[in-house]
Structure 1
Amino acid sequence: MHATESPLLRHDQDGITTLTLNRPQQFNALSEGMLEALQTQLDQLAHDENLRCVILAAQGRAFCAGHDLREMRATPEQAYYRQLFERCSRLMQSLRALPVPIIARVQGLATAAGCQLVASCDLAVASDSARFAVSGINVGLFCSTPAVALTRNLPIKRAFEMLVTGKFIDAATAAQWGLINQAVPDPQLEQAVQALARDICSKPGISIRRGKAMLYRQQMMALPDAYAHAAEVMACNIMDAEAMEGIDAFLEKRAPRWHAGAH
């Protein structure tokens, strides 16, 4: 990659923004530049009221090989590492905090912080040939920050097995365990991701935004508090014009007439 090339590409179309990791020769490792570029885009997208869905994709043979180990070894200082992992943790939380769904489009390898990226997205579709691992343990580093996202996707014993062995799992296993939503034949990956994104965009945006925020907030609550919060969100949601139209359409046995661009 030439020095003038951006580590991250952006494409906007019909309410869908695609962010593409663009360090293919480095297997899209999360360099400081990549982290900064991703964080900048997510911060901007968080305020885009026309946004409906985000796709996180990657150029080349790998989705993301995790942190840039060569760059990390160039500054062997604990303060530097602490700051680096804090930046990465903020990025992962920004994915969850983004008001609209974000879909990981995964091909090739997704390892360590790359696997964390997949786990931090709301949805994930992978090609059959994709493989996943939290392999830091193989170089003597337990993947502690990836473990946070991984254990919020997988049963604890499955996650711990991956963390302490560093072994790869294939796409079919990742789907079975809950790390991704589906695995599709390699030539169908783009089609499957676009179909999922378009399906999301066909629903009222305000309901999707309310729903995503509610889903992750209630997950951290005790059961009575979760139900109280969900009930309040649903009561507000049902007062939205789009929800009223959707219910009327159902009762009248017709297709709903959504307001274009409603959020």
Structure 2
Amino acid sequence: MTQSPVKTERRGAVLEVTLDRPKANAIDLETSRIMGEVFRDFRDDPALRVALLTGAGDKFFCPGWDLKAAADGDAVDGDYGVGGFGGLQELRGLNKPVIAAVNGICCGGGLELALSADIILAADHASFALPEIRSGTVADAASVKLPKRIPYHIAMEMLLTGRWLEAEEAARWGIVNHLYPGDRLMAEARAMADQLASGPPLVYAAIKEIVRDAEALRFQDAMNRITKRQLATVDTLYASEDQLEGARAFAEKRDPVWKGK
């Protein structure tokens, strides 16, 4: 029986997703479709609150698109499955936190996959690049996302030259939140995942929808949509038991108990 290239493990309210496709954790169409199903199920499971994505081993997080599979017939514009390439970057309604734990080389579509997470943690030996320019193609998602995340000129240099960034420089420009020694990365990532899993899921959902919705709006237009409760997650939050629980817990000087409703 063929071993799945995507491993999952539930730890309480945390779903750990490991891309495990030797030698380099590259993604072909089949792997992308499996990842889409995994993240769709994570999105739709009320018992899961946080996802943690990493790669197997300590050398590669993900180099992106599997060029060998492409040479064997996988079309670059083929069926990536729900959520688009890697199952994350086009998955609608994903209102739960996702952490990427980058354990090694992270380039091309692998960097685009990491950029689809909300928080990026990395091993201090990780490296980052967009080498598509050298193979005559475009890093499409990164061309949309990266100039909005880091200084424009740094993003354009990466896109136009394919230059590699070591982990420390990636952190300096804000691609990475925190760096850790390789043997501590997963422990630190799990600690952050557990911290988020203990937080208010309805607030997380509202934050993610607000951020997505506001990206294409002027500030006042975005604020009007929030205050008028035109966003589904905000409307749910303001009418929730959790909203009352937060106020009660503060008044009673105790930790809140979040139910997600």
Q: TM-score, normalised by structure 2?
A: 0.88
Query: For residues 197 and 86 of structure 2, what CA distance do their matches in structure 1 show?
Result: 28
Over aligned residue pairs, what C-alpha RMSD do you find? 2.2
For 2:246, the aligned partner's letter is G
Query: For residues 90 and 9 of structure 1, what CA distance do their matches in structure 2 show?
Result: 14
For 2:40, the aligned partner's letter is D
Query: For residues 89 and 104 of structure 1, what CA distance do their matches in structure 2 show?
Result: 13
CA distances 1:137-187 after superposition (whole Å, capped 9, x unpaired):
122323233322323422322211101111111222222212121111212
Post-superposition offset of 1:7:
0.8
Query: For residues 236 and 80 of structure 2, what CA distance do their matches in structure 1 show?
Result: 38
Aligned to 1:206: 202
- 1:145 counterpart = 2:137: no
Aligned to 1:83: 78
Please tell me whether the aligned partners of residues 218 and 229 of structure 1 are also in contact (alpha carbons under 8 angstroms).
no
Structure 1 residues 84 and 177 mapped into 2: Cα distance closer, same or farther (>3 Å)? farther
User: Alignment identity in percent?
Assistant: 26
- 1:119 counterpart = 2:118: no
Aligned to 1:186: 182
SS of the residue 1:114 aligns to: helix
Query: For residues 60 and 219 of structure 2, what CA distance do their matches in structure 1 show?
Result: 40
Query: For residues 38 and 211 of structure 1, what CA distance do their matches in structure 2 show?
Result: 24
Query: For residues 170 and 221 of structure 1, what CA distance do their matches in structure 2 show?
Result: 34
Query: For residues 188 and 6 of structure 1, what CA distance do their matches in structure 2 show?
Result: 26
Query: For residues 63 and 84 of structure 1, what CA distance do their matches in structure 2 show?
Result: 23
Q: Describe how 1:16-55 pairs up with structure 2 within 5 A.
A: 16-25=14-23, 27-55=24-52
Query: Which structure 2 segments of 5+ residues have no match?
Result: none
Query: For residues 186 and 164 of structure 1, what CA distance do their matches in structure 2 show?
Result: 30
Aligned to 2:6: 8
Query: For residues 106 and 93 of structure 2, what CA distance do their matches in structure 1 show?
Result: 22
For 2:164, the aligned partner's letter is F
Q: Describe how 1:167-246 pairs up with structure 2 within 5 A.
A: 167-231=163-227, 232=229, 237-246=237-246
Count of residues in correspondence between the two structures: 254
Query: For residues 156 and 14 of structure 2, what CA distance do their matches in structure 1 show?
Result: 35
Query: For residues 222 and 147 of structure 2, what CA distance do their matches in structure 1 show?
Result: 20
Structure 1 residues 90 and 149 mapped into 2: Cα distance closer, same or farther (>3 Å)? farther
Structure 1 residues 186 and 90 mapped into 2: Cα distance closer, same or farther (>3 Å)? closer
Post-superposition offset of 1:220:
2.1
Structure 1 residues 160 and 97 mapped into 2: Cα distance closer, same or farther (>3 Å)? farther
Structure 1 residues 130 and 24 mapped into 2: Cα distance closer, same or farther (>3 Å)? same
Q: Describe how 1:91-130 pairs up with structure 2 within 5 A.
A: 91-94=88-91, 97-130=93-126
Post-superposition offset of 1:59:
0.4
Aligned to 1:62: 60
Aligned to 2:247: 247
Once the two structures are overlaid, the 10-residue window that deviates more, 232-241 or 122-131, is 232-241
For 2:109, the aligned partner's letter is A
Query: For residues 97 and 153 of structure 1, what CA distance do their matches in structure 2 show?
Result: 21
For 1:99, the aligned partner's letter is N
CA distances 1:121-152 after superposition (whole Å, capped 9, x unpaired):
11111011110000111223232333223234
Once the two structures are overlaid, the 10-residue window that deviates more, 234-243 or 195-204, is 234-243
Q: TM-score, normalised by structure 1?
A: 0.88
SS of the residue 1:221 aligns to: coil
Structure 1 residues 67 and 220 mapped into 2: Cα distance closer, same or farther (>3 Å)? same
